[in-house]
């Protein structure tokens, strides 16, 4: 595999950051995950952390060096995360379980497989155009499909942030899967929260990223989205990969997995409470306790081998 990857999360105009992002790769497989937490106090960020950590933990256990069944892997990972969030909620006797959106993409053999619940999105961009994207599990999207409102009306609809599928909460998540999607050299796979796609369209992002260096272009998109979002803008987070299937001149921003061992996995996931991008008012003791409880909730449904 050969690819360039960039991830970043920004607080926007919110008092704290409830988004969580991660990517990890083995010699023959790549996983990207984005989650947008919802819930009072710091519980939304806990739910999002459980989602990305459950999936990356599963990848570390199963990608040796590829995952046997990509769609089953995504389904099991998201379902386990859902139950781990519910378990955390029950343990803390929360009246309302924290929830999180989740979108995850697995790439191996130059084929992409993705799944999502909620309104965090995946865009597949090719030659400056969006060739595929996820459909939000939102009431407003259903109204658009029924022809009740237009896309312009949806952008300012008062219920545009209400979703009917997520991880956590009282109902089982509706997890939607892609088709097996072959990737071409130069394709960009972008996963992001609504803080980004809500103010910059997928088409505009695809055009802006065409032929650019992701490590320079994606931060510029985030900066534009922050300005457009204004003082009350949402958290905005992204994981973006440019797929490099054919040989390209090596560069400092490229990742080559050819020399990795069969059982080796590299993961980029920030530990809860340890990244300044995720502002939190928790004390050190509260952070340490949260880390332990997240680990315990995940291990119950995704035991280490």
User: Can you give the pLDDT at residue 74?
Assistant: 98
User: Can you give the pLDDT at residue 248?
Assistant: 38
Residue by residue, DSSP assigns 195-249 as HHHTTS-HHHHHHHHTTS-HHHHHHHHHHHHHHHHGGGPPPEEEEEEEE--S---
Bigger pLDDT: 156 vs 172: 172
The domain limits of the chain are 2-301
Bigger pLDDT: 284 vs 62: 62
Bigger pLDDT: 239 vs 158: 239
User: Can you give the pLDDT at residue 159?
Assistant: 74
Of all residues in the chain, the percent with pLDDT exceeding 90 is 73
- pLDDT, tens digit, for every residue of 253-302? 678 888 888 889 999 998 898 887 887 778 889 889 999 999 999 999 88
Q: How far apart are CA 72 and CA 177, in angstroms?
A: 10
Which DSSP symbol is given to 276? T
User: For 18-139, where are the E strands, in sequence order?
Assistant: 19-25, 29-38, 99-108, 111-117, 121-126, 129-133
User: Can you give the pLDDT at residue 110?
Assistant: 94
Task: Reply yes or no on whether the pLDDT at 149 is more than 70.
Answer: yes
Q: How far apart are CA 139 and CA 142, in angstroms?
A: 5
CATH of domain 2-301: 3.60.40.10
Bigger pLDDT: 175 vs 141: 175
Instruction: Give the position of tokens 């921003």.
Output: 253
- How far does the chain reach from its first CA to its final CA, in angstroms? 26
pTM for the whole structure? 0.89
Q: What is the mean pLDDT of residues 20-33?
A: 98
User: Can you give the pLDDT at residue 236?
Assistant: 97
Which burial class, exposed, middle or buried, applies to 221 when counting CB atoms under 10 A from its CB (0-12, 13-18, 19+)? buried
Task: Reply yes or no on whether the pLDDT at 249 is more than 50.
Answer: no
Task: Reply yes or no on whether the pLDDT at 157 is more than 80.
Answer: no
User: Can you give the pLDDT at residue 93?
Assistant: 92
- pLDDT, tens digit, for every residue of 85-142? 999 999 999 988 899 999 999 999 999 999 999 999 999 999 999 999 999 998 888 8
Model confidence at 146, in pLDDT bands (50, 70, 90)?
confident
């Amino acid at each position: 595999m050969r690819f360039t990857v960039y991830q970043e999360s920004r607080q926007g105009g919110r008092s704290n950051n409830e988004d969580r992002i991660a990517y990890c790769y083995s010699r023959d497989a790549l996983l990207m995950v984005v989650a947008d937490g919802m819930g009072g106090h710091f519980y939304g960020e806990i739910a999002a952390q459980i989602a990305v950590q459950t999936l990356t933990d599963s990848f570390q256990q199963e990608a040796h060096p590829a995952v046997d069944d990509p769609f089953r892997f995504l389904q099991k990972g998201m379902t386990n995360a859902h139950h781990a969030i519910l378990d955390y909620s029950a343990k803390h006797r929360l009246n309302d379980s924290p929830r999180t959106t989740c979108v995850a993409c697995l790439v191996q053999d130059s084929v992409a497989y993705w799944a999502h619940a909620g309104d965090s999105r995946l865009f597949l961009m090719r030659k400056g155009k969006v060739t595929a994207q996820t459909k939000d599990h939102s009431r407003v999207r259903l109204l658009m499909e029924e022809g009740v409102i237009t896309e312009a009306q949806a952008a300012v609809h008062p219920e545009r942030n209400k979703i009917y599928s997520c991880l956590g909460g009282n109902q089982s998540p509706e997890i939607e899967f892609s088709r097996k999607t072959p990737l071409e050299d130069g394709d960009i796979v972008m996963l992001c929260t609504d803080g980004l796609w809500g103010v910059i369209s997928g088409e505009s992002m695809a055009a802006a990223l065409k032929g650019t260096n992701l490590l320079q272009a994606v931060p510029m998109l985030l900066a534009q989205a922050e300005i457009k979002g204004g003082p009350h803008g949402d958290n905005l987070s992204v994981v973006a990969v440019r797929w490099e299937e054919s040989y390209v001149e090596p560069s400092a921003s490229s990742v080559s997995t050819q020399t990795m061992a069969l059982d080796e996995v590299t993961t980029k996931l920030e530990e809860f409470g340890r990244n300044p991008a995720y502002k939190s008012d928790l004390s050190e003791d509260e952070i340490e306790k949260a880390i332990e409880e997240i680990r315990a909730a995940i291990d119950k449904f995704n035991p280490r081998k």
